[in-house]
Structure formats: structure tokens, C-alpha cells
Chains A and B, each alone.
Chain A
Amino acid sequence: DQQVKQNSPSLSVQEGRISILNCDYTNSMFDYFLWYKKYPAEGPTFLISISSIKDKNEDGRFTVFLNKSAKHLSLHIVPSQPGDSAVYFCAATAGNMLTFGGGTRLMVKP
């Protein structure tokens, strides 16, 4: 039973445009959500997070939106850059343990 799902395995975007990565979850106990970025041959690195008491968190080019009623969160990257090409994982937690989605491979074309 996948509690965190990323339904798009890959996404291709032109440099300078917006990238939108989506994530759905089923466990209503999750109260904190995170996005990680992973380059090949490296471990995931923390990107941005949001608490369930908020609906938006912004950090530079990255914004995470949370829709609790829909159990949906999204990551917006504006403008997208070729260096953003990586696999993005969303994760959710109700305590110490993170539950990860399957990841979305983002390709930003120059």
C-alpha cells in the first residue's frame, strides 16, 4: 500500500519555463512534507518542506503547495534551469519516519 505516490515517473520542461511536480498521499496523519532532489550516484538532498498548518512555502525558485483536503502537494520550480535535472522525491512524515514517493525524473532542456 503506497501511502505517498508520484504518478508521473518523468517530466520534460524547457529551460526558463515552470516545472510542476506532483505528489499525492493517503495517510491523514502525515503532518510534515518534504521534497528531496537526487542526482545520479549521490544521495538525496533536502530541498524544501512544508508543515500541514501551511498551504505554501517558498524558497527562491522553489515553492511547495499543500492541499490538505485533496491530500496533494506540488513543487513548482520557476524558472527551470538545466541544473535542476534530477530525480525529485516527495516524502511525508507523522513523526520520525519518512515515507517516500517513487520519484519523478525531471529533465530541463536548454
Chain B
Amino acid sequence: DAGVIQSPRHEVTEMGQEVTLRCKPISGHNSLFWYRQTMMRGLELLIYFNNNVPIDDSGMPEDRFSAKMPNASFSTLKIQPSEPRDSAVYFCASSRIFDRGAYEQYFGPGTRLTVT
């Protein structure tokens, strides 16, 4: 298995532009998570999906952020409009849900976003 795939690996954009980050989870996994890593806040969960349905988006910082999972093999995280404070590394992770919850999550390589 190729693992979790994220694209692009690096994104540099100007303030005000729309940014779309993409994720392909591991085949057979039914939970998908979007995280953001910054020096100040560490690794924080933004949103997660179970069986393509958003379950908890309380970590999404504001309305400029949105996430979708149209099918089991693809998810997007969109920022519109982007701001310099959105600069961070964004990780996607996937997991298989068991009866007691999803435990071991497998992370993608991340997308390093720089907003100038």
C-alpha cells in the first residue's frame, strides 16, 4: 500500500488566494483526519470524517476553512481566502474504525503551506 497520499507537498500563495489541499487515505480505512502543525499550537485536529461523513469540525479555526470527503478515497481541505497566519504544515491521516474507536492513525507526509 502506498500509504496516505497528500498533494501538493509544498504550496506558496499570496494572501487572499484560495488554497486546496488534497488527501487520499489508505484503502479500506474509514476514518480520515485533517491536522495542522504550527510551532505555537503543535499538532491540532481540525476535522475528522467517519465513512465520508464529517463528525467533528470543532477544530476548524473559522469559516474560511472547509473540508469535504466526496468518497472514501478522496478528501479536500480548502482555505478561502488564505491569510499569512494560515502558514503551517497540514497533515491528513486515516484509520480503520473498530468497535471502540479508531486508534492507530496513519499520517501522510504533509503539505507545507506558506501564505505571503
A residues at B contact (CB < 8 Å)? 32, 34, 36, 41-46, 49, 89, 93-103
B residues at A contact (CB < 8 Å)? 4, 31, 33, 42-45, 48, 50, 55-56, 91, 93, 95, 97, 100-110
Contacts A/B (CB < 8 Å), 18 sampled = A43-B91, A43-B109, A44-B43, A93-B101, A93-B103, A94-B101, A95-B100, A96-B31, A96-B95, A96-B97, A96-B102, A97-B33, A97-B48, A97-B56, A98-B33, A99-B45, A102-B42, A103-B42
Contacts A32-B103, A43-B109; is A96 near B55 (CB within 8 Å)?
Answer: yes
Looking at chain B's contact residues, is the secondary structure mostly helix, strand, loop, or mixed? strand
Which residues from chain A contact B101 at a C-beta distance below 8 Å?
Answer: 32, 93-96
Which residues from chain B contact A102 at a C-beta distance below 8 Å?
Answer: 42
Contacts A43-B4, A96-B31, A97-B48; is A34 near B108 (CB within 8 Å)?
Answer: no
Q: Shortest beta-carbon distance, A58 to chain B, in Å?
A: 17
Complex Cα distance A89/B110, Å? 16
